Amino acid sequence: MRNITIGSRKSQLALVQTYWVQGELQKLYPDRPLTVETMTTHGDNVLDVALAKIGDKGLFTKELELAMLAGLIDVAVHSLKDLPTKLPDGLHLAAITERVNPADALVVNQKYQNCQLDNLPAGTVVGTSSLRRLAQLRHHYPHLIFKDVRGNLNTRLAKLDAGEFDALILAVAGLQRLGMDDRIHQIIPSHISLHAVGQGALGIECRANDPEVAEMLQGLVHVPTHQCCLAERAFLRELEGGCQVPIGVNSRITGDTLTLEGIIASLDGQKLVRDHSSGSITNPESIGKELAHKLKQQGGEEILQEIFRMARAYTSGQAD
C-alpha cells in the first residue's frame, strides 16, 4: 500500500497541526502508512525583517509546495491564513478543517495583568508582526506604541516575559492549539479587530493530479468552515491583498445565509472602510467578490493604491 508523506514546517505549532492531521487521517484509514516530513520555509529563516517587507508570495508555503510538485511529499498542512489565494499550477486545496476561534488575543506582561486594551496606559509597547492588527489597533488606540515582533510563538512570549514588550497581539487559535489558553488575557472583540482571512483553520494541499490523496482528504473537510473561508479568500483575492495590506474579515452562517464582514485600512489606521455582504451558502465566492467591490467603491481603492505605491517605492529603494 502506498505510503502518504505529509509535509510540515518545523515550528512547534506547525507540527502540532500536522500531527493532528496525521492522526485524523489514521482514524479514517487505519491501515494506511502515513509519515511526516519537516522542512524550513523562507519565512522561518528571515526573522530580522518585518513580514510586510519581505513579501508574501508563499512566505511560509513555497518550499512545501515545491516538495509536493517534485513528488517528495504528497500533502502539505498549512495554517490557512498563510496560504496564498492563488496556488501554483498543479496544486489543489483539497480540504479546509474545522475552524477554532479565529479571533486575536491580547497577551500581557505581568505588570499589566489588571489592564485590558481599553485601559492600557499611553506609551504601552505592543508587539505584532501583522499590518492588519497594527492598522486596526492604531485606529482605535493611537496612544499605544506598536513594534514589530518576529519568531515562533515561544520566542515571542519569551520576549514579552523578558520585558522587551508590554503586550503582544497573537492568534487565539495558535495559543489554544499549544495548550497555552492561560496566556490569553483578552479575546479582542471583532468590532476592534477583524481577523485574518482563513485564521483558525487549516488548509491541506495536495497535487491536482493525485485523486487518491484528494479523496482521502475529503474526510477532513468541515463544510461550514470551508464555505466561510472560500468567501474570505475570494474577498482577499479580489483585492489582491496579502500580509502587506491591512485587510480583515469575519464570517458567519445563519441557516442558508453566509454573511461576510470586511475592512480595508490604511497603514497608519487613519482611514478604515468597513461593510458586509450576505448571500447563499451555495455560492460563497460571489459574496467575497461582492464585498470587495463594495469596499473599493467606499474608499478602499484609494487606500489600496496608496499602500501599493508605498510597497513599490520600498522595493525600488531596496533594489537601488
- 178 domain-assigned: yes
- 67 domain-assigned: yes
Please state at what angle helix 284-295 crosses helix 223-239, rounded to 10 degrees: 30
pLDDT of residue 49: 45
pLDDT of residue 85: 92
In DSSP terms, 37 is beta-bridged to: 7
* pTM (2 d.p.): 0.90
Dist CA 170 CA 267 (whole Å):
19
Q: For the chain, give the number of residues.
A: 320
Dist CA 288 CA 283 (whole Å):
10
Helix, strand and coil in the chain, % to nearest 5? 40, 25, 35
Is 319 buried (19+), middle (13-18) or exposed (0-12) by CB count in 10 A?
Answer: exposed
Tell which of 187, 213, 241 closes a domain: 187
pLDDT of residue 319: 43
320 shares a domain with 230: yes
Question: What is the secondary structure of 256-289 as a DSSP string?
Answer: TEEEEEEEEE-TTSS-EEEEEEEEETT-HHHHHH
- 196 domain-assigned: no
Dist CA 75 CA 214 (whole Å):
9
Dist CA 53 CA 131 (whole Å):
11
pLDDT of residue 40: 75
256 shares a domain with 165: no
- 90 domain-assigned: yes
287 shares a domain with 238: yes
173 shares a domain with 111: yes
Dist CA 290 CA 242 (whole Å):
18
179 shares a domain with 158: yes
CB 64 within 8 A of CB 36: no
- 194 domain-assigned: no
pLDDT of residue 192: 97
Return phi, psi of residue 253, to 5°.
-120, 130
* Measured distance between the N- and C-terminal CA atoms of the chain, rounded to whole angstroms: 54
Among candidate residues 44, 48, 56, 82, the one labeled active-site is 82
Helix (H) or strand (E) holding 126: strand 125-127
What's the CATH code of the domain at 120? 3.40.190.10
Q: How many domains does the chain have?
A: 3
83-106 core/surface letters (b: 16 or more CB in 10 A; e: else): bbbebeeebbbbbbbebbbbbbbb
80 shares a domain with 14: yes
- Collapsing DSSP to helix, strand or coil, 253 comes out as strand
The residue range of the domain holding 249 is 223-320
Q: Which of 118, 103, 134, 149 is nearest to 265 (CA)?
A: 134
68 shares a domain with 40: yes
In DSSP terms, 106 is beta-bridged to: 169, 186
Q: Which of 7, 224, 190, 252 is nearest to 97 (CA)?
A: 224
Instruction: Tell me whether residue 44 is one of the annotated catalytic residues.
Output: no
Ordered strands of the 247-254 beta sheet: 247-254, 257-265, 272-280
309 shares a domain with 240: yes
DSSP state of 6: E
pLDDT of residue 150: 79
What's the CATH code of the domain at 320? 3.30.160.40
The torsion region of residue 119 among left (phi > 0), alpha (psi -120 to 50) and beta comes to alpha
173 shares a domain with 52: no
Could you state, in chain order, the average pLDDT of each consecutive group of 10 residues for the chain (320 residues)?
93 95 98 94 50 54 93 96 93 97 96 94 95 95 94 91 96 96 97 97 98 97 98 95 82 98 95 97 98 97 90 56
- 195 domain-assigned: no
- Collapsing DSSP to helix, strand or coil, 177 comes out as helix
